[in-house]
Amino acid sequence: MLLLILPGILYFLIYRYIPMAGILLAFKDYSPFRGFADSPWVGLKYFKLIFEDAEVIQVIWNTLQISMLQIFFAFPISIVLALMLNEIRNQVYKKFLQSIVYLPHFLSWVVVVGITVIFLRSEGLINNVLVNFLEINPIPFLTDPALFKPIVIIQVIWKESGWGTILFLAALSGISPHLYEAAVIDGASRLRQMWHITLPALKSTIVILLILRLGNVMDSGFEQIFLMLNPFNMETGNVLDTYVYFKGIQQANFSFATAVGLFKGIIGLILVVLANRLAKKFGEDGLY
């Protein structure tokens, strides 16, 4: 048994828990040349820097905005899409629609961002239509800082909202048909059935997924954002994860980047715990 569990234990120890000890870097003036042990302790110096740096504040703000916009727009769309799919009576048509809306989930972000670039660049399809058919000036979609967030949200909706329906559809298929039959006898319309039977059945799935999403509010999709960033949209697009990469790996400012990463991790942890408590207060199961 020891032999069976050993690879897994070693993996978690080396690649998941030793890095947690590496968090101590945030309290040191780490330089790769001196090594970990010989780098001097500096206490909370880098955490103070986080709050003095206007750029970090902007980056935190970007992260929260993008996450919140995702929760407000992408999350409800999955629920609505699941409800709509659930209303389809023809099972073959339903299966067909499902296999199409799930597909984008399995594409890489490079492909999705690549498609976006092809459609939105100055000589791309959308601008061609704008210029030739609507006779207006081309829009610099990819470099306009004001358009970064809307485009990123639309990408997430396109890629993930279909896949997001799976758990809702699973919950919907668990509803007993007797409930609907009884409602019909009582004279309830389809809309009333949805309001009194379907939506309550989705409540706990919605709560659990919302907790998970709130806990990840400091993550706003690293690969996607990284691929969408360019020198023109840094101001509105740079988020915590990409900032840590630019500061830590590209500029070798290891300790500061670790501090930013740790700050992000701790806020995330606190948010999950709080959201979980909140869910339990509302009589739901919660995550753990």
Q: What part of residues 111-140 is at the interface with another protein (CB under 8 A)?
A: 111, 113-115, 117-119, 121, 125, 128-129, 132-133
The answer to whether residues 177 and 147 touch, using CB atoms and an 8 Å cutoff, is no
Footprint (CB under 8 A) of another protein, residues 6-25? 7-9, 11-12, 14-23, 25
First-last CA distance in the chain: 27
Shortest Cβ 18–another protein spacing (Å): 6
Among 75, 254, 275, 284, binds another protein (CB under 8 A): 254
Which residues in the 169-208 window bind another protein by CB under 8 A?
A: 170, 184, 189-190
Q: Which of 259, 278, 221 is nearest to 44 (CA)?
A: 259
Minimum distance from residue 4 beta carbon to another protein (Å)? 5
Examine residue 4 and tell whether it contacts another protein (CB under 8 A): yes
Whole-angstrom Cα distance, residue 58 to residue 226? 16
Please, which of residues 214-233 interact with another protein by CB under 8 A?
215, 222-223, 226-227
Smallest gap, in angstroms, from Cβ of residue 154 to another protein?
Answer: 10
Evaluate whether 40 touches 28 at the Cβ level (below 8 Å).
yes
Q: What secondary structure does DSSP assign to 164-217, as a single string?
A: THHHHHHHHHTS-HHHHHHHHHTT--HHHHIIIIIHHHHHHHHHHHHHHHHHTT
**68 or 84: whose CB is closer to another protein?**
84
- List, in order, residues 6 or more apart from 91 with CB less than 8 Å away: none
Binding segment (CB under 8 A) for another protein, from list 41-49, 56-64, 143-151, 166-174: 166-174
